[in-house]
Chains A and B, each alone.
Chain A
Amino acid sequence: MTVFQIILLVFLLVCAIAVSFSKNLLNSILIFMSFSLIMSILWVCLESPDLGITEAAVGAGVTSILFFATLKKIHAIEVEGTQEEAEDEQA
């Protein structure tokens, strides 16, 4: 266990706690993204680079995009201004 890995593990803990304590849903998704990124580096440190690639692509990439799309669908992200523009375009 090198110093680098210990720092990463502390980061991981901080991220995991911050995800659950963040009030803003968008913020918690962004923190979750960084959690996945740190996790992927840790997988490479644990000598399983294939898991690292998968974690980076799925955890940090696709899952967070799906979370964003869901938040947009349920209108949890405030979209200012563009709503009226879109309605103007349709009219």
Chain B
Amino acid sequence: MSRLKTKEEYEKTIGFKFRRWLYGEEDPYINKVEMVKQHHRHVEEKTITERMHEKQMHREYTYDVNRNKVLKTYSMLYRIASVVFVILIAALLVYNVSWLPKTGAAEKAVNNEVPQRYIENGLQETGAVNIVTGMILDYRAFDTLGESHVLFIATITVLILLRNNKKKATIAQISDRRFEPKNDSILQLGAKILVPVIFVFGIYVVLNGHISPGGGFSGGAIIGAGLILYVSAFGFEKTEKFFTERTYKVISFAALATYCIAKSYSFYTGANHIHSIIPLGQPGAILSSGLILILNICVGMVVACTMYTFYVMFRKGDF
């Protein structure tokens, strides 16, 4: 050991205890809880078969429609009731819709001062030519942050549920790629031509979110679809060179954290009437409209990574 202290001395220090507590090497039950070895409960095989037979008999008797009149009437009633219920709900919804005012009518309840403010002052206050982007990423940016987190949580759930922890299994065993045409040269050529075009279009949609229709969600979904096309043409070995679980973690964390920090600054300055140092720029230019461009890029990255991770998890269960 190259430490200054000996091993026995080191084990008495707080640092070692803290490390042991943090990494869970200490078993909290040893020397503290009295443990008795449990005996294995032995059940005769005959009893098990008897019990199962009995259960089966009961089940057959209960679910036999010819004998069980109650079940028969119940299933009939259930079918009728379900149809009636569905028709009732549909009729109720259609009745409600018929009372709605016409699209764009002046007496509509949503035509109050809020959308008026958005339409009239949106360009000056947010700097975004596309009023929808100005709304979802500036006035209601909290909402979009929640949506991004929903995607993040969904990916984490998929990772928990579908993660394959078989370290020894080969790629052929884990993936179901063996059922697919391998190394199809026509598909590979098509993907070679199409994937860059799709990526460029996705990036265009993301970057032009405040000028033209589109934005983070649409562009991110396009980039994710392009990644999926690339995977299905060239296999996981090629994509794992640049996209692993670590990449996903880093990109999502960085994007969500940037979103949080940028929006916190914006809300802080807005609530305290402090002048924000971020200029709104010139409407129509790409590098303008303050934070909206950055937020769009963040949302786009999260969405693209989420799409690709979903696909990989469903197909292979591992990065």
Direct contact of A and B (CB under 8 A): yes
Task: Name A residues whose Cβ lies closer than 8 Å to a Cβ of B.
Answer: 48-50, 53-54, 57-58, 61-62, 65-66, 69-70, 72-73, 79, 82, 86, 89-90
Interface residues of B in 302-319 (CB under 8 A from A): 307, 310-311, 314-315
- CB pair B178–A86 under 8 Å, yes or no, is yes
* Neighbour of B218 across the interface among A50, A65, A79, A82, CB < 8 A: A50
Asked whether B225 is an interface residue with its Cβ less than 8 Å from the other chain, the reply is yes
- Bound together, the chains give a CA A72 to CA B175 distance in angstroms of 11
Asked whether B27 is an interface residue with its Cβ less than 8 Å from the other chain, the reply is no
- CB pair A65–B179 under 8 Å, yes or no, is no
- Bound together, the chains give a CA A89 to CA B218 distance in angstroms of 41
- Bound together, the chains give a CA A54 to CA B314 distance in angstroms of 21
Give the total of B residues in contact with A, Cβ under 8 Å. Answer: 22
* Neighbour of B178 across the interface among A65, A70, A89, CB < 8 A: A89
* Neighbour of B179 across the interface among A54, A58, A62, A82, CB < 8 A: A82
Q: How many A-B residue pairs have CB under 8 A?
A: 58
Majority SS of interface residues in chain B?
helix
- Bound together, the chains give a CA A66 to CA B307 distance in angstroms of 10
**Minimum CB distance partner of A82 in chain B:** B179
Q: Are A57 and B172 also in contact (CB < 8 A) when A65-B311, A66-B311, A86-B178 are? A: no
Enumerate chain A residues within 8 angstroms of B172, measured Cβ to Cβ. 89-90
Q: Are A54 and B221 also in contact (CB < 8 A) when A79-B179, A82-B179 are? A: yes
- Bound together, the chains give a CA A86 to CA B181 distance in angstroms of 12
- CB pair A57–B218 under 8 Å, yes or no, is yes
Of the candidate stretches B3-11, B54-62, B209-217, B244-252, the one touching chain A is B209-217
- Bound together, the chains give a CA A84 to CA B218 distance in angstroms of 42
Enumerate chain B residues within 8 angstroms of A50, measured Cβ to Cβ. 132, 213-215, 217-218
- CB pair A66–B221 under 8 Å, yes or no, is no
Enumerate chain A residues within 8 angstroms of B132, measured Cβ to Cβ. 48, 50
